[in-house]
Structure 1
């Protein structure tokens, strides 16, 4: 992808305009461009800056959905997980899970075993098995040993959610789509029909109207707030999920470990991710402004209580956390008392010139995208999805390069290895990111602000102490060289990033 496009460079008319640059919008863009349609995607902030960079980072079948009787959603999720594991190695990778089983607490071995047999049958692959107490403690010696019987072992998958979105967008752009971040949209109507969008460039302050045969509202939790949109969006129940990111040295896990929280019986989990450990999650009604997202003190206490139960000898405290993050799930409100009992199904609606989509899961973005395009084809037949093709193309590469090829894609990774000097292939500290990845992102991936680079193109701001403060000066040197930032701009960006990190990601005192 080239550096960020200006509004003046856009065409006057597009077949399809997608509003929303999260996983749903990115998936629709990837599928739509294959139809030969002229497609534009706009995102009011940075790509993946909302829910799609603040998930639990798991590509999973939703084992707990079986308990709620959501068989179709589980089956669809398991199958999509298997596809992504095959298509995107290095970006979507297997994640072994352990569910310790205790004599004095739920869940019981046989109930878990039945659920996992169904889970495996849906995937068409047998992955689950019983692990003895001795084997379990050899694998994860930090677990609570009291009344421990053993564990059910099974497998899901993990990803970097922001990079998944970015790869979808950048590969769609390489095939002819256009995508702009930091461009706010409002819908334009004539005689009750949406006819296009009025775009506001949040960086340059310019405004431009674009005609469109059809507009897709893919703004997720913000679906009911799109200016100029006709009525029809379902009532949403934004549910906040908060997480801690901990040093691997303080929670030295080799597998993902899942258990039921002692306070409410909700499943929580911790697993190695990007050189650190992600631990979560909460599931609470978010009644504040959607822009005011951060973990609360009550959530912090809840998560720490869960850690104390499962890893009592480690005595982990808030001071141990590298960072925190919180996101809102765009869940359809059916009025259930328990937030966790609400369905994660997606919801579609339409009106002349518009199709809306919200809800859904990270794992099932492809099936959601195809569902949206089938609905869109009722108004614009050329958007009907064709044969079901792979979302990503993978390549046989050395194991040492698989991560790079997974994160960037085949074409971009090949160009990266030609462009980036060898001395910049070294990692930044003890993180999995190289200095070359920072340079590549600044040069090619529509970076506008420092937080784009540290919180989404890479995740240095989450997995490094103090948000990566130790490397800011060298990172700003790269931005100066690749983005043309002068000294004043570098100072302003550093101040902006530090303030944002303190407000959204610093562990509460």
Structure 2
């Protein structure tokens, strides 16, 4: 339960200030707050509004990295996946993958089996297996049938990426940290050392200077653009990954399916997620504005061509897409010709009073956070991370409440069940969200704009046709009650939200 506070309520100084409210900044903030240090996180827009709400939403070891010989990254990712599955049930959940194998096509069965044996060994459990062709057809009836030999089955995990970020931030606040969204930071320096930040609140327009023992630049793809930052950030190669979403009524899947795209042999996938089906992803140099990434028609056609090759009987077309999203990965430029060959390793740099961190993977955010805090501890020893402690306080509610407890944490989920009327626990349409979650988010989770509520606190704007436009009267009624919005504010927020959805998430015209 974290109310948004005014700049005037902040302390004059903090041991650590984290700039950037994506998965990397949230991970650093969470681990630092547990140390007992005074920690502040600020985000210029909404939490997770950049790359961290626009990922493929998979917590995975990365078979592709294993293929490329990145053994350490794969092992690190597999171990973090296992740890998150154990510590965050209901938020990070197992996801079964099928990779169909065809005569005369890559990958072959034996190569896949070898790679998956290594994958299983890294996880410490045997989970992969072979399905013959009849069993593969029974598992997913719409697979392309010509030349089908069978399918390899393996396990990874899925999450709601934005919700993972929010859980980290709000758990850190419960441990004594302070977080503010819609607050932009400019670094301040004295005698060649970063000594704090100048903050500007986009909601109130207020400004205030805050001192800091150490500042972390965790702004991801925006790392080199942080005002006042020393020019020490590595050269980034922003790469865009775009995704299509479908209604399960049109594209029904029981498992995740992964295959190699016939045009370039890049791995693509489709899987059921939060009441929709996601298909992704592309991996292209992004040369447009970072703040408003958008799928291009060529990317849509590429993904549709991949779907046509793997699910030809469905005849999926542009008219079947209910929404799209694109995110920009902050990849360190390694000079590779192929964007997909660039390493997903994180990169850390230092200047007096400042630590910068960018790159990395959603799955390994904890490892990245520890790297940052170990570097910070060389000057501020109390910031040293405690690697043995679980990241999340585990809870064992009844099975029907597993999802709610995973998304909110035990304290917030328990309070929600006590505070929100029972009738609000009904789900919204065919989605897994409830009206209670939406009301709780408006009441307690620093919602400033309608898109915060529909695109990040919940994902209703992605998984319901037309951005959940038909639900807006009910949603705005909750905003009037919980946020005190009058009719004029509701109208302007509806206009803002729909403009945002059309610009970044609406299906592209066929």
TM bracket, shorter-chain basis? over 0.9
Tell whether 2:228 aligns with 1:228. yes
Aligned to 1:323: 323
Tell whether 2:10 aligns with 1:10. yes
**What are the Cα deviations for residues 316-366 of structure 1, in whole angstroms up to 9, with x where unaligned?**
011111100000111000100000000000000011100000000000011
Aligned to 2:109: 109
**What are the Cα deviations for residues 461-505 of structure 1, in whole angstroms up to 9, with x where unaligned?**
000010001110010000000000000000000000000000000
Aligned to 1:33: 33
Q: TM-score, normalised by structure 1?
A: 0.99
Aligned to 1:411: 411
1:92-491 equivalences under 5 Å are 92-491=92-491
Distance 1:166 1:228 in 2: 27
Does structure 1 retain, via aligned residues, the 8 Å contact 2:2–2:173?
no
Q: Specify the SS of the correspondent of 2:439.
A: helix
**What are the Cα deviations for residues 355-397 of structure 1, in whole angstroms up to 9, with x where unaligned?**
0000000000111101100001112121111342110122221
Q: Specify the SS of the correspondent of 1:204.
A: coil
Distance 1:200 1:418 in 2: 36
Q: Specify the SS of the correspondent of 1:322.
A: strand
Which range moves more in the overlay, 100-109 or 491-500? 100-109
**What are the Cα deviations for residues 124-147 of structure 1, in whole angstroms up to 9, with x where unaligned?**
011101001001101100010000
Distance 2:250 2:474 in 1: 28
The alpha carbon displacement at 1:68 in A equals 0.9
Distance 2:125 2:27 in 1: 26
Does structure 1 retain, via aligned residues, the 8 Å contact 2:63–2:74?
yes
The alpha carbon displacement at 1:292 in A equals 2.7
The alpha carbon displacement at 1:2 in A equals 2.9
Does structure 2 retain, via aligned residues, the 8 Å contact 1:216–1:354?
yes
1:37-76 equivalences under 5 Å are 37-76=37-76
Distance 2:3 2:378 in 1: 35
Aligned to 2:498: 498
Distance 2:311 2:227 in 1: 48
Q: Specify the SS of the correspondent of 1:65.
A: helix
**What are the Cα deviations for residues 224-275 of structure 1, in whole angstroms up to 9, with x where unaligned?**
0000001110000000000001111111100000000000000000000001
Q: Specify the SS of the correspondent of 1:362.
A: coil
Distance 1:400 1:380 in 2: 44
Does structure 2 retain, via aligned residues, the 8 Å contact 1:3–1:447?
no
The alpha carbon displacement at 1:104 in A equals 2.7
Distance 2:394 2:472 in 1: 33
Q: Specify the SS of the correspondent of 1:477.
A: helix
Aligned to 1:507: 507
Q: Specify the SS of the correspondent of 1:277.
A: strand
Ranges of 4+ aligned residues in structure 1 off by more than 6 Å: none
Distance 2:256 2:508 in 1: 25
Distance 1:188 1:165 in 2: 27
Does structure 2 retain, via aligned residues, the 8 Å contact 1:91–1:403?
yes
Q: Specify the SS of the correspondent of 1:200.
A: strand
Q: Specify the SS of the correspondent of 1:94.
A: strand
Q: Specify the SS of the correspondent of 1:240.
A: strand
The alpha carbon displacement at 1:101 in A equals 0.1
Does structure 1 retain, via aligned residues, the 8 Å contact 2:370–2:387?
no
Structure 1: runs of 5+ lacking an equivalent: none
Q: Specify the SS of the correspondent of 2:34.
A: helix
Q: TM-score, normalised by structure 2?
A: 0.99
- Output the aligned Cα RMSD: 0.7
